[in-house]
A and B are shown apart, each in its own frame.
Chain A
């Protein structure tokens, strides 16, 4: 992202949630409520083949039987799922040939977010599949990708044009009945991204999707599916911002990654949904199921920077099925004011010689609660599994909480597992040192937090790292003292 120091200063001055604005585009929205008809209607609206409708219905039927989980270390008022409208799409259709045809208001929205499409185009190697509410309205760089045989399109498009691929892989990593939120998503997902990298192809650019929740009272149900064929490589970026709203908004996304033999997928997320105001009013509920499966010698790497959302419930996982596969998880979770986060990962070692690394940095300020919850499981038949986990927490003030809940289950003697966790605070001497050198306290904190998070920030692609750094600073504003 082209982001200058001057802009950073401007942002720092801006104490309120800066992305809280609302684009006034006429939307085509379903009445609130969920039943089989709504599910069928969503499917019909999107012109889906019958198998897809059936798949959704099946998921819906399972969902009805499920209970919302409450084991996580978070407390929130459970949304009434019958009060949510399950479909909303910007209704200026059909798709545009070029950017000029895109609704200027929409373009303006993206400009405010600092992701103007034309700038994106010029900026080296980022193709953006923009998701506004739920339907993708513009896809760039498609041609370059097409030459390589890479498919990068919206989920609805993929269902129309590549039904065989979607049918083969959808729900293969996160089955529709996996959990309450995954089932809900499977039934009503509106759109999402689909990405397919053919055998032996190294995706030449970072693929990225920007999500925005726009309509009031509309839950966003994204479904992302990334398939990397043998020996391919892809780096996928996901960034999120949402407008300011009083009512809690629900977001229940599902992301599935499939890394076949020797493939590598890098999935980076920057999440900055509206966290609620200083009194803890409003904010997005983020209940996401993310999971990837690694075949032989494959590698999946999750990197996430979570600064937004009132409630986060998210455990990007790796199933290390193939021999020699590698799973990585790098996370920064920052909570301020009344935010709550229960996030972590699951590393399931099934194949031989599998390796996993977990680096989690939690920062809690204000009255927030921040939990790391992770599972490392070594199957009895998984020989020579190796795991290293490190969970560090930073506390600011004594009104917040930092919690660590690691689950380690090992049933093989050749496994080697290490886990360590620390909790600390920003030392007065550190602040004093900065002050002494003319750095004010707020900036000093930003500096220290950045240093604390560096291990994870380094894993992000360059453009994202800058944005993430800026997000951390903005999110911590006003937490001094």
Chain B
């Protein structure tokens, strides 16, 4: 039985556990129908030209893990940004772990999707926001059909979340192969602020396929910073679908750090619905082996006087493949748009491949839109300069790579996270940092 059939039949079983009177049920039903018609994306689709899912669709995944399992905090401490005070929403094999989590309902809600979907208290928010910007595409629809758990974060008007929220998804390897479909909803009302860190982590070498959907709504003047750490095992694949809707004068940034995983695909979509909006998309990709990272971004400028900044850096070794497929769409009325898109790549080994497609689609004339993209190697002259000053070649190379990737980190607002990522990059490249940044 192939995965699609399995999912379709699992859906029937899943349906039996649900409250059929819930409004969400129609949404789920429509979504599964859509998935049934379209199936998994293939390479013939322009958006999937460079990424084939075939190798990960072969596995026989468990759609629903049989048993919830507990893990000791000590075992997984390293995957938390542990040196900061934060709220934590933790899932183990897709099931909420109250033991590891620290949620809140005080000034704002940082809790579970399952309770939000089922409790009437949250009904208003769910009705207004759930599945409103996630468009119809097959993987998003698949997630919508199976949506039952994930993080639910609601920051009311003018509330500033005083500490970051960490969302962690662990998989224990209790199942031979596991498919996870977390569904997150983040609503940041007018004038509110929040910082979120998200991580997917497999604890064993068993196959994991995560198809995650996150919807983020930023109200007027709201500010949201979202950090994604993707440093998973080579047996794990991640398809991350994130949709962001922004209102007037809001600022949303998404940083994606891709350091591992078999196939990582980031579908990151920004929709600007007011003027004075700023959207920031940054990414660092450092991979080796046969890893594959695909960044597929869209910024849709729908209103005048908005900005968007995209900056993606990649270092590719061995037989790794990097894809960048960025699109900036400027509507007719979105005059005075300032959109910038940059994608820089370094290829370390001959087997590595980079496919990049930075696209601009512009329908307004008074705009400042540009993109740049480079593929190259380390600067020989800079290497020579350092070597002539007594830095060994290996270190010199590492330093250059480190400097190249580290540029993106300047906009990370949580100092501890910045140090953490900095160290991870240093570690990845094999450079010893004798200093703190």
A residues contacting B by CB (< 8 A) are 71, 380, 393, 395-425
Contact = CB atoms under 8 A, between A and B. Distances in A.
B375 A422 contact: no
A36 B50 CA distance: 39
B365 to A, nearest CB: 4
B199 interface: no
B385 interface: no
Contact of A418 (B333, B351, B358, B374): B374
A419 B342 CA distance: 10
B369 A406 contact: no
Interface residues of B, number: 37
20 contacts: A395-B367, A398-B366, A400-B363, A401-B363, A402-B360, A404-B361, A406-B356, A406-B358, A406-B359, A409-B354, A410-B353, A411-B353, A413-B348, A413-B352, A417-B376, A421-B360, A422-B370, A423-B360, A423-B362, A423-B367
B176 interface: no
Contacts of B365: 395-398, 400, 425
A404 B354 contact: no
Given A411-B353, A420-B370, 14 more contacts: A395-B362, A400-B365, A401-B363, A406-B373, A408-B373, A409-B50, A410-B345, A410-B375, A411-B354, A417-B374, A417-B376, A420-B372, A421-B358, A422-B370
Contacts of B50: 409
B377 to A, nearest CB: 6
Q: Is the interface of A mostly helix, strand, loop or mixed?
A: strand
Contacts of A397: 365
Contacts of B362: 393, 395, 401-403, 423
Interface string B138-157: 00000000000000000000
A418 B333 CA distance: 31
A441 to B, nearest CB: 16
Nearest to A407: B357
Given A71-B46, A398-B332, A404 B371 contact: yes
Contacts of B370: 420-423
Given A395-B362, A395-B365, A423-B367, A415 B376 contact: yes
B187 interface: no
Contacts of B360: 393, 402-404, 421, 423
B229 interface: no
A356 to B, nearest CB: 13
Contacts of A408: 354-357, 373, 375
B364 interface: yes
Contacts of A398: 332-333, 335, 363-366
Given A402-B360, A406-B359, A423-B362, A415 B372 contact: no
A154 B359 CA distance: 41
Nearest to A417: B375
B357 A413 contact: no
A330 B351 CA distance: 32
A415 B377 CA distance: 8
Nearest to A386: B376
Interface string B43-83: 00010001000000000000000000000000000000000
